[in-house]
Amino acid sequence: MIIFRKSGELTIYIEEQRKIGRKIGFVPTMGALHEGHLSLIATARKANELVVCSIFVNPTQFTNPEDLRLYPVMLENDIRELTTATCDVLFLPSVPEIYPPSHQKKVYLIGSLEHLHEGKYRPGHFQGVAEVMDRLLSLVRPHNLYMGQKDFQQCMVVGKLILLLHMENEIKLTVVPTAREEDGLAMSSRNLRLGKNERIKAKSIYRELKYIRDHYPYSNVEELERNARTNLENEGFLVDYITVVNANNLEPSAKGQQVVLAAATIGGIRLIDNLLLN
Ligand code: AMP
């Protein structure tokens, strides 16, 4: 695996690979890699000749400075995992490499997705996601981009960004299913920060999502949402939302494909998850 820290060197290499006809698959991450990230790499490996992964803890998408400060960094382990997963290129930029002094901040017209659910609880988060993805996509210019369903709303925002950048004929976004621990907890780098008791409780989010999925077809949705919230609160979670919405626009509407989205904090660690319904 080749490691690039400079964007200029990365783009020269990728351009050479593109010229000789290699299909380029890209997996952007913030590191502290787990099986979820590796399933994106494995999916990319199957369909591309060149697999590029980035590790960049993007400061502009953090709304809580403490969350940024405590974000786990496990670079040696990450490099080992990526090598084993036969990733070809790791891009490991510094903050000034991604946001040099010449970087101009833009406003991305993401629409209502920006302020719903995650956007409501993390103001500015999706502008930060769009900003870093704009930079990374313009450097890597992949044919295929791989992102995890765990971050459902983020996938939709990046899909919208690709349209805003008029890159929809160049880049195909593939959403990879959520990888879970044995007890159902969605894998996340933040799980590393859960205490022992909180880690045991954390599986309840998936239990409540599954209950909603299994009872959704023949139950009152508001009652399901209310009960799930109460169950989690009784176990000590601070619940931001657990809500059934249309999977194509994340608005409440009983029509079309539905998804149940959840965000809840336990022991100071905020966890998100979702399941597709019907
Ligand atoms: P992160 O490092 O958290 O920014 O995640 C990088 C990519 O991995 C994003 O596209 C995430 O959606 C994806 N990802 C994170 N956790 C999981 C998981 N449990 N299963 C599948 N993909 C995941």
Give burial (CB, 10 Å; 0-12/13-18/19+) of 192: middle
Cβ 44 under 6 angstroms from ligand 1: no
The yes-or-no verdict on residue 211 having pLDDT over 90 is yes
**What would the pLDDT profile of 57-71 be if each residue is shown by its tens digit?**
999 999 999 999 999
Which H or E run contains 146? strand 144-148
Our answer to whether residue 37 is catalytic in this structure is yes
| Rounded-to-integer distance, Cα 103 and Cα 99, Å | 5
**What would the pLDDT profile of 234-274 be if each residue is shown by its tens digit?**
999 999 999 999 999 999 988 899 999 999 999 999 999 99
**What would the pLDDT profile of 158-178 be if each residue is shown by its tens digit?**
999 999 999 999 999 999 999
Cβ 125 under 6 angstroms from ligand 1: no
pLDDT of residue 112: 94
Cβ 153 under 6 angstroms from ligand 1: no
102: tokens are 């010449």
pTM of the model: 0.98
The yes-or-no verdict on residue 278 having pLDDT over 90 is no
223 CA distance to ligand 1 middle (Å): 30
Catalytic residue selected from 34, 37, 125, 143: 37
